[in-house]
Amino acid sequence: MIRVNVYKNLSGNDGKLMVVENTIETFKSSISAQFNVTEENLKLFSSNGCEVNDVRVLRDNEDVYLSLECMEDRKNCDKIKISVDKLNLVENDCRHKSKAVTDWITLNIGGKHFTTTRSTLVAKEPLSMLARMFADDNNTYLMNPSATDATGAYLIDRSPEYFEPILNYLRHGTVILDKNVNPKGVLEEAVFYGIDSMIPQLNHLLGEATSCLSNNQALTRMDVVRSIIITPTQSELRFQGVNLAGADLNRLDLRFINFKYACLSRCNLSGANLSHCCLERADLSHANLEGAQLLGVKALCANMEGANLKGCNMEDPVGTIVVMEGVNLKGANLEGSNMGGVNLRVATLKNANLQNCDLRAAVLAGADLECCDLSGSDLHEANLRGANLKDAAFELMLTPLHMSQTIR
């Protein structure tokens, strides 16, 4: 369905919005009835002054003008065309006056105002949408930029967050993104505005971001085994700060490996040999170390909250002491572990299960043993000075508590 604006005269008054009929005759008949004019000498003209003889040439929302004069020649058509051209010239002059070129331009991008110079928008990317909007010819813009808001700022319905890096790029030629700005969003806007020289840099940033994301993924058992195989025995293998969360490393020989600051949360290390490893400040929360060998381990301030250390061996025959000073063993299960001589000074063992543990000569000074179950444990010569023993359980102890403490 095509609708046109029918006007009785060139001034644009007395207009009506009408639906185009199937033929020119039926359309003229409808116009005659609407405007109360005779159909005999009725002629229709388009905005360029040419007579309309077929409704198929009309476009949707086109302006159509009436004439009741007999038109045997083209004089009246020429007159109409001249009059329409005059109207268009007046309209264009008004538009150009309102769009005169200025050195400073304010853009309203998605409700946020950005003020910049015309040269910034035009110079670096002369073929971009912004450059074509504000390029000038004889003090007028080559194309109508857009509608303006109440303050005169040009309206563009796009994201202001992603436009700001684009405007800065046009200013100094370097892509600089804040850490909370997604480069993918900026890339989409750069494509929209046609800032072609910016696109390769944004693609490079996206590639780096993807690489960092993939590098942060947890290593697998195969990754660890491969590293062990290719590392010479005389060299130190370092997994310092590496993400191994959830990895299955059960029964592997991991001796002398540096896991400082590593993430081993929920890792399966059951039966693994971690002797002489550095676990300082490592995250072993809720990890499974049941039956693991922990001789000579250095686990200063490690997080082992909720970990399963049932049946672990920490007593080295040659006398190397396991250092677990300040370690978090809150809620951990150490039942039946051999912990002779272990250093647990100021460690947190609240609600931990230490049933039937060998804690001979262990250092528990200042440790938090609140609600800890020490039933059946051997505390001979253990140092409990300053330890918090509130609500701790001591049933069936091999050594009475008052005989077990040694002040050192």
Question: Residue 73: in which H helix or E strand, if any?
Answer: none
Q: With a cut of 50, say whether residue 77 has pLDDT above it.
A: no
Q: Are residues 152 and 185 in the same domain?
A: yes
Identify whether 390 is part of a domain.
no
Identify whether 33 is part of a domain.
yes
- Provide the strand spans (E) within 142-225: 154-156
Please write the tens of the pLDDT for every residue from 317-345: 888 999 999 999 999 999 999 999 999 99
Q: Is 148 left (phi over 0), alpha (psi -120 to 50) or beta?
A: beta
Query: Average pLDDT for residues 56-83, to the nearest whole number?
Result: 60
CATH number at residue 19: 3.10.20.90
Contact 254, 233 (CB under 8 A): no
Identify whether 309 is part of a domain.
no
Lowest mean pLDDT among 102-106, 121-125, 249-253, 379-383: 102-106
Q: How confident is the model at residue 95 (pLDDT cuts 50, 70, 90)?
A: very low
Q: Are residues 112 and 207 in the same domain?
A: yes
Residue finishing a domain among 183, 213, 243: 213
Identify whether 42 is part of a domain.
yes
Q: Are residues 165 and 194 in the same domain?
A: yes
Identify whether 46 is part of a domain.
yes
Q: Are residues 70 and 124 in the same domain?
A: no
Counted domains in the chain: 2
Q: Are residues 123 and 203 in the same domain?
A: yes
Identify whether 319 is part of a domain.
no
Residue 28's pLDDT is: 83
Burial class (CB in 10 A: 0-12, 13-18, 19+), 312: buried
Residue finishing a domain among 185, 213, 241: 213
CATH number at residue 119: 3.30.710.10
Identify whether 144 is part of a domain.
yes
| Residue 258: count of CB within 10 angstroms of its CB | 19
Q: With a cut of 60, say whether residue 202 has pLDDT above it.
A: yes
Cβ neighbours for 235, distance < 8 A, ≥ 6 positions apart: none
Instruction: Report how far residue 285's alpha carbon sits from residue 142's, in angstroms, rounded to the nearest whole number.
Output: 66
Q: Are residues 110 and 199 in the same domain?
A: yes
Q: Are residues 61 and 80 in the same domain?
A: yes
| Residue 235: count of CB within 10 angstroms of its CB | 7
Q: Are residues 151 and 206 in the same domain?
A: yes
Domain span holding position 12:
3-97
Identify whether 60 is part of a domain.
yes
Q: Are residues 88 and 108 in the same domain?
A: no
Residue finishing a domain among 164, 183, 213: 213
Q: Are residues 177 and 81 in the same domain?
A: no
**pTM to 2 decimals?**
0.49
Q: With a cut of 50, say whether residue 362 has pLDDT above it.
A: yes
Q: How confident is the model at residue 124 (pLDDT cuts 50, 70, 90)?
A: confident
Q: With a cut of 90, say whether residue 390 has pLDDT above it.
A: yes
Candidate ranges 166-175, 189-198, 329-338; pick with highest mean pLDDT:
329-338
